[in-house]
Chains A and B, each alone.
Chain A
């Protein structure tokens, strides 16, 4: 066989890469990553409960009209109202309203969202909502209502959420 022929034969031969060490590494990595993998993304909603505190003297900020929205969740309806130290009660009354829920229907959260957007447009400095659920309202409904009150798509509405039980 000529020299040329020998060279040709060598070039055609397959080169076997030794994949066993890589396989071993993968086999070690996979259990480790499986153990520390996170399949559910846990997120958090900041909220607080009302506490007794001394009244703040925000006289300088009076020009910024702020209202606090109250969302009451009942078994068959969601009621909205607004309170404020700096806005006249007659003006606040127009923001009050009730959204009735059908017997087997979901809560009308879209309507609530529209009302909250209108309040936010009128008083842009407002940032607090008080959610008052009824005794039988389930936790899931409270979270959905909080979501609606906190953000509309990506626009913040009332990011400070206070959860309170009904008094009286």
Chain B
């Protein structure tokens, strides 16, 4: 009799229902946030961790230009590291012979290629300059001079938008 009673009370296994409504809410919020911060830029710039860009009130969007990145340790043109920096000085750069620098030679090649393929009208005529905010002007000046000598006197200084 007692056994029979126990049997009577045994319930059938019912698979538990997961409450996914709250998870859906969370996902919806995440999706909305991500959609708002969706980048519609022509290209995504991979920023290196060791570069701290200055903040500015500038509102202008950057264009598709040649990227010149100056960090505290190196000079980088597009994806190629051109030279190393030590104590704010470009290693192997003679300030009196800027035209002999690797950066100058590379920029000349870029300019030559840009002139060659001028048909599409979307040439990279300027330099997008991304520079660490802690670097002194003497370091920046030599790099800017080289770019100007190579035929790129117009720059776009990359900055982070200041939160108002």
Q: Which residues of B contact A27 (CB under 8 A)?
A: 27
Instruction: Determine whether the beta carbon of B137 is less than 8 Å from that of A136.
Output: yes
9-residue interface stretch from B1-9, B101-109, B155-163:
B155-163
Beta-carbon contacts under 8 Å, A115-168 to B = 133-140, 142-144, 146-147, 150-151, 163, 165
Report Cα–Cα, A56/B141, bound state, in Å: 27
A8 to nearest B CB, angstroms?
Answer: 24
Instruction: Determine whether the beta carbon of B155 is less than 8 Å from that of A47.
Output: yes
Q: Which residues of A contact B56 (CB under 8 A)?
A: 43, 45, 143-144, 146-147
Q: Which of A34, A135, A143, A144 contacts B157 (CB 8 A)?
A: A143
A-B contact count (CB 8 A): 145
Q: Is the interface of B mostly helix, strand, loop or mixed?
A: mixed
Q: Which of A23, A39, A45 contacts B37 (CB 8 A)?
A: A39
Q: Which residues of A contact B35 (CB under 8 A)?
A: 33
Instruction: Determine whether the beta carbon of A43 is less than 8 Å from that of B61.
Output: yes
Beta-carbon contacts under 8 Å, A28-75 to B = 29-30, 33-34, 36-49, 51
Q: Which of A46, A48, A143 contacts B133 (CB 8 A)?
A: A143
Q: Is the interface of A mostly helix, strand, loop or mixed?
A: mixed
A11 close to chain B: CB less than 8 A: no
Q: Which of A34, A44, A146, A147 contacts B34 (CB 8 A)?
A: A34
Question: Which residue of chain B lies nearest to A143 when distances are taken between CB atoms in the complex?
Answer: B54
Report Cα–Cα, A51/B144, bound state, in Å: 12
For the complex, count residues of B whose C-beta is within 8 A of A: 51
Instruction: Determine whether the beta carbon of B58 is less than 8 Å from that of A147.
Output: yes
Instruction: Determine whether the beta carbon of A44 is less than 8 Å from that of B137.
Output: no
A12 close to chain B: CB less than 8 A: no
With A23-B20, A49-B144 in contact, is A30–B136 under 8 Å at CB? no
Instruction: Determine whether the beta carbon of B31 is less than 8 Å from that of A30.
Output: yes
B14 close to chain A: CB less than 8 A: no
- With A19-B20, A23-B23, A29-B31 known, 20 other A-B pairs at CB within 8 A are A26-B27, A30-B31, A37-B39, A40-B161, A42-B53, A43-B59, A43-B62, A44-B62, A44-B63, A45-B159, A47-B156, A48-B154, A48-B155, A49-B144, A135-B138, A138-B135, A139-B132, A144-B54, A146-B56, A147-B58
